[in-house]
């Protein structure tokens, strides 16, 4: 909630900040590119996070399924393990149901899934922080590199 209260103030001061950093001659063009990047990030960011979460969830699910006896899986869910994707899409098989089947008394693998997701996000954030120290011309090359790294992380 605190972030939302600061959003308008930051949005209002950006043109003045850009004028101080780069001079008043090109503020309009720079601000336009900044707003374009901001709106693109607003659309792509949630999609990327959802994709990362989906990949982590499926990875955790497959790790649990590998530990289950196939006969016990058929008894519990009424279908063989080869139909796992259909059972997951129908929400018949979930991580919590697999943990009950395995009688796991430890913490949920969701914590590990969130941890892996956060590590990837921190990596991208640290790259962003490092780019702030570069000259303006070099930032374009770094932005392309960040895009390529983020695409690579989504495949992991």
Total number of domains in the chain: 2
Question: Domain range spanning residue 24?
Answer: 2-66+107-155
Q: Do residue 62 and residue 118 come from a single domain?
A: yes
pLDDT at 3: 59
pLDDT at 156: 47
The helix, strand and coil proportions of the chain, stated in percent and rounded to the nearest 5, come to: 85, 0, 15
Quick one: 58 exposed, middle or buried, by C-beta within 10 A (0-12, 13-18, 19+)? middle
**Coil vs helix vs strand at 122:** helix
Residues 51 and 114 in one domain: yes
Check whether residue 13 and residue 48 sit in a common domain.
yes
Q: Please indicate, yes or no, whether residues 90 and 111 belong to a single structural domain of this protein.
A: no
Rounded Cα distance between 154 and 52, Å, is 6
Q: pTM of the entire structure?
A: 0.51
Same domain, 59 and 114: yes
Cβ–Cβ < 8 Å for 113, 53: yes
- Tens-binned pLDDT, residue by residue, of the chain (156 aa): 565 666 667 777 888 888 888 888 888 888 888 889 888 988 898 999 999 888 888 888 888 888 888 888 898 888 998 898 899 889 899 888 888 888 755 556 666 666 677 777 777 777 766 666 655 556 666 666 666 666 666 554
Q: Are residues 20 and 97 in the same domain?
A: no
- How far apart are the C-alpha atoms of 73 and 98, rounded to whole Å? 9
The owner of tokens 């570069």 is 134
Residue 102's pLDDT is: 80
CB 64 within 8 A of CB 109: yes
Query: For residues 125 and 97, what is the distance between their CA atoms, to the nearest angstrom?
Result: 35
């Amino acid at each position: 909630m605190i972030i939302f209260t600061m959003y308008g103030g930051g949005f209002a001061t950006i043109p003045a900040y850009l004028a101080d950093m780069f001079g008043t001659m090109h503020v309009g063009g720079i601000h336009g590119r900044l707003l374009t990047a901001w709106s693109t990030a607003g659309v792509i960011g949630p999609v990327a996070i959802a994709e990362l979460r989906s990949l982590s969830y499926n990875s955790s699910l497959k790790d649990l399924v590998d530990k289950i006896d196939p006969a016990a899986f058929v008894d519990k869910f009424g279908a063989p393990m080869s139909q796992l994707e259909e059972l997951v899409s129908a929400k018949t098989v979930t991580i919590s149901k697999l943990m009950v089947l395995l009688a796991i008394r430890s913490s949920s693998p969701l914590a590990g899934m969130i941890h892996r997701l956060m590590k990837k996000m921190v990596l991208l954030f640290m790259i962003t922080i490092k780019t702030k120290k570069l000259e303006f011309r070099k930032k374009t090359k770094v932005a392309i590199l960040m895009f390529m790294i983020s695409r690579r992380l989504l495949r992991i």
